[in-house]
A and B are shown apart, each in its own frame.
Chain A
Amino acid sequence: GAVVSQHPSRVICKSGTSVKIECRSLDFQATTMFWYRQFPKQSLMLMATSNEGSKATYEQGVEKDKFLINHASLTLSTLTVTSAHPEDSSFYICSAGNRYSTDTQYFGPGTRLTVL
């Protein structure tokens, strides 16, 4: 299957700082990338959909100014959590797909964010 990586795998930061998470498709070009967050023992919650070269589409209730998404190339999307607070602590997972060549989406390994 297709391979998606995320970096960093874990990050601890102080309240008020910004954190950038990278999502890369390693062996295919991703026309679309998705960002999810997941709380313990809960399912994935879609935050936003990112198409290469376009602005991200955010789900209802997700603050676009707080969670900045950039999908500048077909292999890289970034999620920046601005002015992070403890309630932003969560597991952030990206997925990627190519609507012309892959049947579905493939997930990255996730990034655990802890805001102190």
Chain B
Amino acid sequence: QKEVEQDPGPLSVPEGAIVSLNCTYSNSAFQYFMWYRQYSRKGPELLMYTYSSGNKEDGRFTAQVDKSSKYISLFIRDSQPSDSATYLCAMSALIKAAGNKLTFGGGTRVLVKP
């Protein structure tokens, strides 16, 4: 079993819909959670990071963490075709993820249709 599980998709939604992404993890030591967006043939771009249970909002993006269930989610409101990409969740066992190894989910491919 992988430490971090993420549905590969593809997830296809109409423009304007809410995109719901999630990851489950097995390692209770994970403390720091990130979501990255990766366009084809580009490096991952950081969208959100959080280290506490609950919700964190940034524009159209909401990250949700439930440590008791070992489950994290990313919601994208008012989705646009430009949101079509692969979304990767990542986790770190240490609070300062800057200098520590990240464990990635496999990524979910999202397609927002006009």
B43 touching A104 by the CB < 8 A rule?
no
Q: Nearest-CB distance from A12 to chain B (Å)? A: 15
- Nearest CB in chain B to that of A38: its residue: B38
A113 → B minimal CB distance (Å)? 13
Chain A binding site: helix, strand, loop or mixed by DSSP?
loop
On chain A, the residues within 8 Å of B101 by CB distance are 34, 46, 49
The reply to whether A104 and B34 contact each other, CB–CB distance below 8 Å, is yes
- B36 touching A107, Cβ below 8 Å: yes
Across chains A and B, the number of contacting residue pairs, with CB separation under 8 Å, is 66
- Residues of A at the B interface (CB closer than 8 Å) are 1, 4, 6, 31-32, 34, 41-44, 46, 49, 51, 91, 93, 97-99, 101-110, 112
Chain B residues bordering chain A, tally (CB within 8 A): 24
Contact of B99 with A by CB under 8 A: yes
A107-B98 contact in complex given A43-B104, A44-B88, C-beta closer than 8 Å: no
